Structure 1
Amino acid sequence: MKNIVLIGMPGAGKSTIGVVLAKTLKMPFIDTDILIQQKQNRLLQEIIEEDGIEEFLSIEEQVILDLDVWGSVISTGGSVVLESDGMRHLKENGFVVYLQLPYKEIEKRIRDITTRGIVMQKGQSLLQVYDERVPLYEKYADAMIRCMGKNMEQIIKELKELWEGIR
C-alpha cells in the first residue's frame, strides 16, 4: 500500500489534517518536520539560523530519502518541494496531495514568521515564498484539495474518498 503524502504551504494544515486522516484511515502518521527536529535535536528555526537554508534543505531531503515506510500518512514541511530528489522519492512510494489555500488565508494563519521554521531567503516576503512554491506544489501533486471555506471533516472526507478511489 502506498503512502498518502501531504504537501502545501506552512499554515495549510498538513500536520493537523494528517493526524486526523491517519486516525480515520487507521494508518500510521509521520511528520517529517518532527523527524528533522528529532534527528538534529534542535527546532527547525534553530537549524535554519545556525546552519543556513542550504544545509537545512539538505537535512530535510536526507530525512525524506531515508523514509522507508508503506501505508502511512506523511505530512511534509512546506519546503520539501524545493528538493527534487526528495520529492521523487515521495512520489515513488506515495500519492501526493496538495492542500491548497489562497495566500490571504496562509498569511492569516501564520502568526510569527520568525519562529515558525519557514525556509525564506533574507529579505524574502511570505508572498514571494508562496509565489515561488505554488507552481512546485502543483507540479508534484497527484491531486489537490482546495481547503478554503471547508472544515476539518469536509477535508478529511475528500481525502478519504480520494484515497479509496486509488486503492
Structure 2
Amino acid sequence: MSSIILMGIKHCGKSTQGKLLAKHFECPFYDTDDEVTQLTGKTPREIYTESGKEAFLEAEKQACKNLAEKIKSETMAIIATGGGICNNPAALDELHKTGKFIFLNADEKTAADRIVREISYDGIGSMKNLPAYIAKENPKNVQEVRSIFHNFYVERQKIYQNLCDIEIKLEHSSSKSENRQKILDALKEME
C-alpha cells in the first residue's frame, strides 16, 4: 500500500487519525506543518503573518518535497497536511507522488466549535489564536467567527472533494477508534 495523505479543514482530526493509522499500520507518521517548522524554524502561522502567503506556500512546497524524499525508502507512511494545502498545487504534486489523498470530512459545527474553543483575548478584548483567514476579517465576536468560518467551510469542502481519492465522513458522535475504522474500511474498498 502506498502512503496515506490526510487532508481536510482545520480541526477535522487529521493528526489524531494519522497517529492512530500509523500505529495500526506500524509505519511512520508525519505532519506537513511540523515539517515546515523544522525546515524554517517558524510555524506556518508565523511565516504567513510575518512574510505573507507566497512565502508560506513556498515553505510548504519545500517541506512536502523534503518529506516525499524522506519517505521514499518507507513501505508506507501516514501524512497529515495543513488545512490550507488544498490551495498549494505545487505542494500537492509533491505529496501525490507518494500516495492517496484521503479527505476527512468533519461536520461544520464540530470544526467551528474547535476553532472557537481555541480563541483567546488580549488585554483590550481583541480575539487571538484565530486561523489567518478568519483573523484577517477582524471578527468582533464568536458569531462573526462562525459566519466567516461557514463561508470558508463551504468553499473548502468543494475543493477537497475535487482533490481527494477517497472522502470519509467523520462523525462527531463516533469515537476516535470508530472513525479510524471507517478510514480502514474505505481503504480496503479502494484496493
Counterpart for residue 122 of structure 2: none
> For residues 45 and 81 of structure 1, what CA distance do their matches in structure 2 show?
16
Q: Aligned partners of 2:157, 2:151: CA distance in 1, in Å?
A: 10
The answer to which of 25-34 and 40-49 deviates more is 40-49
| Structure 1 gaps, min length 5 | none
- Distance between the aligned counterparts of 2:27 and 2:50, measured in 1? 35
Q: CA RMSD in A?
A: 2.0
- Name the amino acid aligned to 1:64: C
C-alpha contact 1:79 1:119 (8 A) present in aligned 2 = no
Residue identity matched to 1:3: S
TM-score (normalised: structure 2): 0.78
Residue 159 of structure 2 is aligned to residue 146 of structure 1: no
Extract unaligned runs of 5+ from structure 2. Answer: 120-127, 139-147
- Give the whole-Å Cα distance in 2 for the aligned partners of 1:106 and 1:128: 13
CA contact (8 A) 1:7 1:99 kept: yes
Q: Does 1:85 align with 2:90?
A: yes
* Number of equivalences: 166
Counterparts of 1:105 and 1:152, CA distance in 2: 14
> What is the Cα deviation at residue 119 of structure 1?
4.5
Which has the larger Rg?
2
Alignment match of 1:160 (pick from 162, 184, 187) = 184
* Residues 43 and 85 of structure 1, relative CA distance in 2, 3 Å threshold: closer
Counterpart residue number, 2:34: 34
2-11 or 127-136, which moves further after superposition?
127-136
Higher alpha-carbon deviation: 137-146 or 55-64 = 55-64
- Kept in 1, the 8 Å contact 2:33–2:43? The answer is no
Which structure is richer in relative contact order (CA contacts within 8 A, separation 6 or more)?
1
1:79 to partner: Cα distance: 0.6
Distance 1:54-1:126 versus aligned 2 partners, 3 A rule: farther
Does structure 2 retain, via aligned residues, the 8 Å contact 1:99–1:147?
yes
Q: Is the 8 A contact 1:25 1:160 kept in 2?
A: no
Give the structure 1 partner of residue 59 of structure 2. 59
Distance, in Å, in 2 between the alignment partners of 1:80 and 1:36 is 12
- Please point out which of 133, 141, 163 is paired with 1:120: 133
Equivalent residue for 2:110, pick from 105, 114, 117: 105
Query: More deviation in 118-127 or 100-109?
Result: 118-127
Distance in 2 between residues matched to 1:11 and 1:88, nearest whole Å: 23
Looking at structure 1, the residues matched to 185 and 20 of structure 2 have their Cα atoms a distance apart, in angstroms, of 15
What amino acid maps onto 2:156 in structure 1?
A: R
Whether the 8 Å contact between 2:61 and 2:94 is mirrored in structure 1 is no
Give the deviation of 1:44 after TM superposition.
2.4
